[in-house]
């Protein structure tokens, strides 16, 4: 039995919100690897307190247990289970972010939109069912974005994509493929933290 003065690592370190990143193929696509490294490497203390895990689209998260109507089964009341901290720090994310390569002017927009919606459906409805996990989508785009409000096609397609994915407009983000990746990454981190 461990000594009373020895604490689990979950209690000895600063807790960080777990964010799962899905849809990045770091082995085949250099851009995806650069995106992953911008989130995971060189985490400075001034960045938001998040930890990131790279997961495949078909990852199975821990299943949520059914809610009990009373608390009589908690004995003694108010005590956390031993694995609760580990589960919420390392296994069950607060936010799941799905990355998907899709430009606003893609010639196969309808097909790509449907594919994106079906992937998100698999993640949010099947794998995360009944969990209080937030879901976001980041579109990786090759073209530099126009100033907000200037691209009517982008506004229209963003609305249809949100509708098809059953997603709030505040949970849809665009990550342009530019030289300023770390700046966009920090802005995305702040947005994920606020979700």
Classify residue 21 by burial, with Cβ atoms within 10 Å: 0-12, 13-18, 19+: buried
Instruction: Please state whether beta strands 95-101 and 50-55 pair in parallel, antiparallel, or not at all (unpaired).
Output: unpaired
pTM comes to 0.83
pLDDT one-digit tens code per residue, 48-57? 888 999 999 8
**pLDDT given at position 75:** 60
58 pLDDT tier (thresholds 50, 70, 90): confident
pLDDT one-digit tens code per residue, 88-137? 788 888 899 999 999 888 889 999 999 999 999 888 776 677 678 889 99
């Amino acid at each position: 039995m461990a000594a009373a003065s020895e604490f689990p690592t979950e209690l000895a370190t600063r807790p960080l919100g777990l964010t799962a990143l899905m849809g990045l193929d770091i082995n085949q696509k250099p851009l995806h690897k650069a995106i992953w490294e911008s989130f995971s490497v060189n985490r400075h203390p001034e960045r938001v307190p998040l930890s990131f895990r790279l997961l495949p689209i078909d990852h199975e998260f821990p299943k949520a247990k059914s809610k009990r109507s009373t608390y009589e089964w908690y004995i003694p009341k108010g005590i956390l289970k031993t694995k609760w901290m580990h589960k919420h720090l390392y296994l069950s994310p607060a936010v799941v972010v799905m990355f998907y390569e899709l430009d606003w002017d893609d010639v196969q927009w309808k097909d790509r939109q449907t594919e994106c919606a079906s992937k998100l459906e698999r993640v949010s409805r099947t794998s995360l069912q009944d969990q209080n996990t937030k879901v976001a989508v980041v579109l990786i785009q090759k073209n530099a974005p126009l100033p907000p409000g200037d691209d009517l096609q982008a506004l229209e397609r963003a609305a249809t994509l949100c509708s098809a994915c059953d997603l709030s407009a505040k949970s849809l983000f665009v990550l342009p493929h530019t030289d300023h990746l770390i700046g966009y990454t920090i802005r995305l981190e702040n947005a994920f933290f606020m979700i």
